[in-house]
């Protein structure tokens, strides 16, 4: 749309901002951004994706052999260079964050923070008993610190993977990168082991979208009854399979709370629990990116003027 002008509107662009800025100079269209709660994040598998129990991989009857160690999760949290991802990949279209819930502002936690610190990550692993082997890869109790990190095939995501892999190497963590065709990765095919709900690897990354301005449904991703499993054909929203009684209790309390401030506090607690335990590592929250043709004009009245006011309406919501 931006390059040739063949189309009037393009939705949900995930392209490096450097490219978008260059294409805008052609004069055929412009990029517009709408605030959302969409979050590009890395998920840490709470279960063992490499072991099958009762015919199911990543069963809730297992624990991850490496990521169940809090020191490993903490180290990984320090090895995500969010600022570089924002500056060199997303630009205007991705804002570095340590929160899973980033909009609306009344639901955003002020308790979290993020940091990129390779030295601190190394110290945490040293103190946790993870010693470097002759090959530079850390190990403990006979287990090498090797992880498979998958995402969909998409240039910004492959660049993001490379940034994470490089930092992890400096901390003695060996990362194997896996890229899956988007039509497969985001498929609902129950028989396909490479879909993101199956999560048959150690780490994975994608954007989860917040469809409503209220985060209740969005936070299904951290309640125990929404775990994605063979029993529900991997349709549960909780893909990481991380569970916490505190998070469950906070969610249930929010459903019975009529005071909007107290209700928001329950949601903030769930965000803090999940991010603090590194069930997920938020990377950047993503405004929705659209491109519109320079030939499009808004009318003063009628349904199409309402369409052009949609961005302002969303911000108010």
Q: What is the DSSP string of 32-67?
A: EEE----EEEEEE-SS-TT-EETTEET-TT---TTT
Within a domain: 296: no
Helix axes 118-127, 70-78, angle to 10 degrees: 170
Within a domain: 32: no
Low-confidence ranges of the chain (pLDDT < 70): 298-317
**Residue 100, domain extent:** 38-288
Q: How far, in Å, CA of 247 to CA of 274, rounded?
A: 8
Within a domain: 26: no
Which pTM was predicted?
A: 0.91
Within a domain: 6: no
Within a domain: 25: no
For residue 111, give the 3-state DSSP assignment. coil
Other beta carbons within 10 Å of 6: 8
CA atoms within 13 A of residue 261's CA, in its CB half-sphere:
0
Q: How far, in Å, CA of 101 to CA of 119, rounded?
A: 28
Count of domains forming the chain: 1
pLDDT at 308: 45
Q: How far, in Å, CA of 66 to CA of 202, rounded?
A: 9
pLDDT at 299: 64
The domain that contains 111 carries what CATH number?
3.10.105.10
Within a domain: 300: no
Within a domain: 127: yes
Within a domain: 59: yes
């Amino acid at each position: 749309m931006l390059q040739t002008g063949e189309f009037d509107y393009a939705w949900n662009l995930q392209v490096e901002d450097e490219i978008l800025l260059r294409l805008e100079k052609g004069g055929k269209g412009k990029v517009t951004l709408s605030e959302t709660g969409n979050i590009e994040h890395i998920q840490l598998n709470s279960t063992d994706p490499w072991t099958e129990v009762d015919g199911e991989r990543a069963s809730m009857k297992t624990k991850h052999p490496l990521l169940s160690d809090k020191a490993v999760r903490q180290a990984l949290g320090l090895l995500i260079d969010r600022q570089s991802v924002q500056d060199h990949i997303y630009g205007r279209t991705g804002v570095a964050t340590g929160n899973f819930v980033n909009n609306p502002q009344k639901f955003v936690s002020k308790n979290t923070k993020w940091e990129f610190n390779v030295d601190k990550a190394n110290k945490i692993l040293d103190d946790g008993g993870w010693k470097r082997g002759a090959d530079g890869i850390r190990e403990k109790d006979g287990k090498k610190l090797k992880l498979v990190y998958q995402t969909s095939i998409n240039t910004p995501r492959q660049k993001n993977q490379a940034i994470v892999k490089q930092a992890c190497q400096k901390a003695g963590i060996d990362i194997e990168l896996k890229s899956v065709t988007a039509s497969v990765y985001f498929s609902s095919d129950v028989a396909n082991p490479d879909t993101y709900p199956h999560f048959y690897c150690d780490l994975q990354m994608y954007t989860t979208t917040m469809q409503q301005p209220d985060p209740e449904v969005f936070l299904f991703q951290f309640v125990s009854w929404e775990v994605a499993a063979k029993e529900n054909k991997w349709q549960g929203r909780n893909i990481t399979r991380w569970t916490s009684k505190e998070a469950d209790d906070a969610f249930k309390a929010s459903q019975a709370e009529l005071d909007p401030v107290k209700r928001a506090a329950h949601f903030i607690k769930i965000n803090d629990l999940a991010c603090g335990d590194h069930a997920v590592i938020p990377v950047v929250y993503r405004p929705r990116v659209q491109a519109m043709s320079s030939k499009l004009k808004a009318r003063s009245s009628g349904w199409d003027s309402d369409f052009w006011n949609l961005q302002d309406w969303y911000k108010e919501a």
